[in-house]
Chain A
């Protein structure tokens, strides 16, 4: 744990300073996780704030220190789900309001932003995000937590509140669905080696 349980207990009792310290300790980690779960950097801070607000209002229910981190992850996953659901609805209504020309202009603007970023990292991010976008939110979030965030099955058990075997089955199926969509993906390391070879 990044903080002592004593600090959490003080925050539970309404100590605003203690709550600030808890947020400060976890905010970078939570923002990193959110960015990988939702894939939209511009909204990461907003979703992270929502996570900590939910933490603030539910903190008094916490009894044991062991469940604090899985619980925080659970809040993160739930807030990300909510965001994805809302943004899908928003995007659908926004796109239906735009003319074809406006949509093309928006695409072009996004394209020029991409060019200015670090090429290889950007390519890997796009590749993985496109790949994960081809499966459901549930599959994507579960795979991201396990394979990218590196959470153990024990930790996932606490977050999802299901047993290890059920999780293994869900992970296997999610992975299979991703692999099914992974046809023309070039491995990042091979690509990098190839690009280094060329003068």
Chain B
């Protein structure tokens, strides 16, 4: 019965894919709303660059590379599905999850450093946005890690079989989270 959704299609596009794209469309407006608020409020007042200069640029740069690389491994995981190479699929899913965790670890380390210096979420409007936007993004990374873990467990148990396309769907989401970071990084760290 649950396969019905995947097999009956009036447009020829897999139903799951349409669902994920609509989901991403709504996610874009969540981050879009946050980013637009940030830009508008920032344009209306001063003192933001000074606050931003206290951020740890080096760590964020490393994190950007980690997340970008994890998108690559996610693509390679999907390529492994298409080439029917289950072993490589597991490896690349593992790597993607690992890099997601590294990203969160570095982010937590960054937060700690800032809070120790006194830049808590209540330290000013820049810090409100900084913690709000990166925090929401980190939650999305965590969500992506959970999704990939579910896929990995299924791959290890060999129960992924009729639903391998889910790797592609998880990949769409993972790339989306990556792209959000591509926006957040310059907006917060480079201005």
A, B assembled together: no
Interface on A for B, CB 8 Å cutoff? none
Interface on B for A, CB 8 Å cutoff? none
